[in-house]
Amino acid sequence: GNSVTQMEGPVTLSEEAFLTINCTYTATGYPSLFWYVQYPGEGLQLLLKATKADDKGSNKGFEATYRKETTSFHLEKGSVQVSDSAVYFCARYNQGGKLIFGQGTELSVKP
Amino acid sequence: DTAVSQTPKYLVTQMGNDKSIKCEQNLGHDTMYWYKQDSKKFLKIMFSYNNKELIINETVPNRFSPKSPDKAHLNLHINSLELGDSAVYFCASSQEGGRMFFGSGTQLSVL
């Protein structure tokens, strides 16, 4: 079936640390891949996306590369800030209109 | 000029009551969704409408009934509320695949 698996949280980092949040997907079809972010008390918002293999999505210092050979779309940021504290969701989209989310990874950045 | 707005933001009610959550989008999108987020932040799609027509109906108790009077509105009515219905409910809309815009959520607490 279609699924997305993320690393479990919570992830706690100090400010300016390097961030990686792992995400893998089941290799059914050729999905588009997304990272969404949910700040406390808000709805989800799109962070970045990639629509085909080897595409790199980037936004606000975050990056993720669509890796077909490892069915992965890991999220990275070189230097996190306190304001990056949020829950991050990896997601895949197939034709048919369904966006499937991973279970979410909570990130907490301490000053 | 909020893109996706849902009301109310908080809803506290007794078991057995009937309640509705309203959602409106001013983005001109054809497709609208309802998602349920549990206490562990897991997001599960409930329904999707495209141009007022139901296209996704996940395994959801029939106490939940969506209604789309026009393509800018998708309301969720819940009959006979149960304790397990307590969650945050998100409305969302999209036009192209996977790029979704979310409302800020309705936190439902059933006592």
Question: Tokens in use for B7?
Answer: 């009301």
Exposure string for A39-74, b = 16+ CB within 10 A, e = fewer: eeeebbebbbbbeeeeeebeeeebbbbbbeeebbbb
Question: Tokens in use for B1?
Answer: 């000029």
The answer to whether residue A1 scores a pLDDT higher than 70 is: no
**What's the pLDDT at B58?**
83
**What's the pLDDT at A105?**
96
Q: How many residues does chain B have?
A: 111
Which residue among B43, B45, B90 places its CB closest to the CB of A98?
Answer: B45
**What's the pLDDT at A76?**
98
Could you tell me if B86 lies within 8 Å of chain A, comparing CB atoms?
Answer: no
Q: Which residues of B touch A36 (CB under 8 A)?
A: 100
**What's the pLDDT at A8?**
87
Report helix, strand or coil for B65: strand
Summarised one tens digit per residue, pLDDT across range A14-73 is 999 999 999 999 877 788 999 999 999 899 999 999 999 999 999 999 999 999 999 999
**What's the pLDDT at A12?**
97
| CB atoms A43 and B105 under 8 Å | yes
| CB atoms B100 and A104 under 8 Å | no
- Percent of all residues in chain B with a pLDDT value above 70, rounded to a whole number: 99
Give CA–CA dist A15/A11, Å, rounded: 13
Summarised one tens digit per residue, pLDDT across range B50-93 is 888 888 888 789 999 999 999 999 999 999 999 999 999 999 99
The answer to whether residue A96 scores a pLDDT higher than 70 is: no
* Mean pLDDT, range A1-9, rounded to an integer: 85
Kindly state the helix (H) or strand (E) to which residue B9 belongs, with its residue range.
none
The answer to whether residue A102 scores a pLDDT higher than 70 is: yes
pLDDT band for position B28 (50/70/90)? very high
Q: Which residues of A touch B97 (CB under 8 A)?
A: 32, 93, 95, 97
Could you tell me if B59 lies within 8 Å of chain A, comparing CB atoms?
Answer: no
* Mean pLDDT, range B11-18, rounded to an integer: 97
Question: Tokens in use for B102?
Answer: 């979310």
The answer to whether residue A94 scores a pLDDT higher than 80 is: no
